[in-house]
Amino acid sequence: MKVNSLQYQHTHYAALGSPWSAKADRIQSATGILLGCFLLAHLHFESSILFGKETFYQVVQFLEGGMFSSDGHGMPIVTKVFSIFIMVVVMLHAAVALRRFPAQLGQWRALRNHMQGIKHKDSHAWFWQLVTGFILFFLAPVHIFTMITNPEIGPHLSAERVYHANAWLLYALLLPAVVVHAMIGLYRVAVKWGLIRHRKGLRKAIKVLIIYLMTLGILSLISYIMIGRSLVLPITPFVP
Amino acid sequence: MSQGRTLTFNIFRYDPQVPDDKPKMVKYQLEEAPGMTVFIALNMLREQQDPSLQFDFVCRAGICGSCAMVINGYPTLACRTLTSKYPKGEITLMPLPGFELIGDLSVNTGKFMRELAERLKLWLHPRNDEVDIHRIEAPMDPEEAAKLYELERCVECGVCVSACATKQMRDTFVGAVGMMKIARFELDSRDARSVEDFYHVIGNQDGVFGCMTLLGCQDNCPKDLPHMQQIAYLRRKMATALV
């Protein structure tokens, strides 16, 4: 008699693996890649202020769909809609990434003991991703909500927000958190799915990117503060 | 070669069998000999200074996987670690975390490995259940055999488990050793289990989707097993499984 042991095992296993485990993992990586790439673009667009007010103005008009409007001016509604989309992606990413958070004190203790006892750089990198991820729970929505409620962007409008509405404090905290989180995240997603075989080069590239993006972000933040200081309230939007 | 140096060992000492014993670090000193490994040093310490010192070893050649411990913050095999690697001559030894402590540097990896094998059913499930000793065994493709052999090199030392922060935080996580062995049977053409069957074993938070890719396994495995590629392979395989 043929013993159909496999069928038995299949029913035994059935309770353990849920299709949602795979889905959650795919969603986390996909939303992570999307947000990481968006951050790379975002920081470059906003730092175009370093090339002068006019360059930044043109970049904004272009991104707000200026070529589709009759007067060539961009429409802030584009920013509003895109911000809502990013908010949804962030929420989705946060929801599935929560699976990774140590939820119990015992887990934090185990993590601390591990970090103290075992020397391992990638584990430490993950710890910083965890910390910055936690910070982003509070900082990222504040920034995105502002862009949903007040989507007006421009050399003077943004500078007013940064300097006169004190958004510089938010950005100064948000910048390091988001850059570190996103870059380590992109590195992890590449090794997680086996997109690369050797980590050494990628690790170096990520370090360089973190320094580069931080410099870019800090310089443009200073630039907005300088412009903000020179503005008289109530401000008039910049027109070239 | 740093010959004749005096090495200082800081060794974790604790015997759970002795009532009122408290975990402590004990300092030992020993003169270094040419080609000395941590394993040789431990044997000398036990012979010459403290016969109560507990640690495991069998083969002294990196094959049995018994002498794994944390050496200066790196989990590895004592028999494959030369003392000359440490220019300061100071060596701190801790037992592997994440396992039941037998005493001092000795941990019960065997119990863990057995439970894991039973839980994940880490043995061949033949395609044909009917036993016929007269049937000629089908030859295996040499390439497939080489792939299986590569994964079979695991010595179950427990280093990947100790080096994994995920495993330390989640006790039920199968760790790199579990996934390595699952991958071994997944690749084996003689095994009857389908991708879907394997999904039901490791397609969850305790399996491949619980792995956060911290890669302590990859960076510390004394046998240089390809954990990173292997787990990524399983992740891709499981992510596309139609469950």
Mean pLDDT is lowest, of A3-12, A210-219, B26-35, B149-158, for: A3-12
A111 and B192 within 8 Å at the Cβ level: the answer is: no
A85 inside domain = yes
Residue B235 Cα, gap to closest chain A Cα (Å): 7
Burial of B37 (0-12, 13-18, 19+ CB in 10 A): buried
Burial of B67 (0-12, 13-18, 19+ CB in 10 A): buried
Is the separation of the CB atoms in B69 and B95 below 8 Å?
A: yes
Boundaries of domain holding A122: 22-230
Residue A24 Cα, gap to closest chain B Cα (Å): 9
pLDDT value at A15 more than 80: no
Number of domains in chain A: 1
B203 and A9 within 8 Å at the Cβ level: the answer is: no
pLDDT value at A180 more than 90: yes
What values do phi and psi take at B31, rounded to 5? -80, 135
A171 inside domain = yes
A1 inside domain = no
Q: Which residue has the tokens 């927000």?
A: A161
A5 inside domain = no
For residue A117, give the nearest of B73, B129, B169 by CB distance.
Answer: B73
Which three-class secondary structure state does DSSP give residue B232? helix
Q: Which residues 6+ apart lie within 8 Å of A205 measured at CB?
A: none
How many whole angstroms from its chain centre is CA A194?
22
Q: Which parts of A98-166 fold into alpha helices (H)? A: 105-117, 121-149, 155-159
Which of B99, B191, B213 should be substituted to probe chain A, the one whose Cβ sees the most A Cβ atoms within 10 Å? Answer: B213
Please give the model's pTM, rounded to 2 decimal places: 0.90
pLDDT value for B133: 86
What structural domains does chain B harbor? 6-106 (3.10.20.30), 109-239 (1.10.1060.10)
Q: Which residue has the higher pLDDT, A68 or A210?
A: A210
**What is the rounded CA–CA span in Å between residue A32 and residue A41?**
14
B169 and A18 within 8 Å at the Cβ level: the answer is: no
pLDDT per residue as tens digits for the range A71-98: 878 889 999 999 999 999 999 999 999 9
B97 and A117 within 8 Å at the Cβ level: the answer is: yes
In total, the C-beta contacts within 8 angstroms joining chain A to chain B are 127
How many whole angstroms from its chain centre is CA B18?
27
> At how many degrees (to 10) do helices A167-192 and A199-230 cross?
170
A147 inside domain = yes
Mean pLDDT is lowest, of A29-33, A214-218, B61-65, B126-130, for: B126-130
Is the separation of the CB atoms in B179 and B221 below 8 Å?
A: no
**What is the rounded CA–CA span in Å between residue B211 and residue B165?**
10
Instruction: Report the chain A residue with the minimal C-alpha distance to residue B242.
Output: A19
Query: Please, which pLDDT band fits residue A122 given cuts at 50, 70 and 90?
Result: very high
Query: Please, which pLDDT band fits residue A9 given cuts at 50, 70 and 90?
Result: very low
Name the stretches of chain B with pLDDT < 70.
Answer: 1-3, 243
Which of A114, A126, A191 should be substituted to probe chain B, the one whose Cβ sees the most B Cβ atoms within 10 Å? Answer: A114
Which of B168, B240, B243 should be substituted to probe chain A, the one whose Cβ sees the most A Cβ atoms within 10 Å? Answer: B168
Q: Which residue has the tokens 């990196």?
A: B62
B125 and A111 within 8 Å at the Cβ level: the answer is: no
Instruction: Report the chain B residue with the minimal C-alpha distance to residue A124.
Output: B214
**Region of residue A95 (left: phi > 0; alpha: psi -120 to 50; beta: else):** alpha
**What is the rounded CA–CA span in Å between residue B201 and residue B197?**
7
**What is the rounded CA–CA span in Å between residue A139 and residue B237?**
36
A236 inside domain = no
B213 and A191 within 8 Å at the Cβ level: the answer is: yes
For residue B219, give the nearest of A10, A21, A122 by CB distance.
Answer: A122
Task: Determine the residue type at A164.
Answer: H
**Region of residue B218 (left: phi > 0; alpha: psi -120 to 50; beta: else):** alpha
For residue B169, give the nearest of A19, A24, A107 by CB distance.
Answer: A107
Q: What is the CATH number of the domain that holds A224?
A: 1.20.1300.10
DSSP for B38-75 reads HHHHHHHHHHHT-TT-----S-SSSSS-TTEEEETTEE
**What is the rounded CA–CA span in Å between residue B89 and residue A98?**
44
**What is the rounded CA–CA span in Å between residue B69 and residue A165?**
56
Count Cβ neighbours within 10 Å for each residue of A190-227 and write b for 16 or more, e otherwise: bbbbbeeeebeeebeebeebbeebbebbeebbebbbeb
What values do phi and psi take at A137, rounded to 5? -55, -35
For chain B, report the end-to-end CA distance as a whole number of angstroms: 58
A145 inside domain = yes
pLDDT per residue as tens digits for the range B169-227: 999 999 999 999 999 999 999 999 999 999 988 999 999 999 999 999 999 999 999 99
Query: Please, which pLDDT band fits residue A219 given cuts at 50, 70 and 90?
Result: very high
Task: Determine the residue type at A189.
Answer: V
A187 touches B at CB < 8 Å: no
pLDDT value for B3: 53
DSSP for A7-58 reads HHHHHHHTTT--HHHHHHHHHHHHHHHHHHHHHHHHHHHHGGGGG-HHHHHH
For residue A21, give the nearest of B121, B203, B216 by CB distance.
Answer: B203
A8 inside domain = no
Query: Please, which pLDDT band fits residue A237 given cuts at 50, 70 and 90?
Result: confident
Mean pLDDT is lowest, of A18-22, A235-239, B44-48, for: A235-239
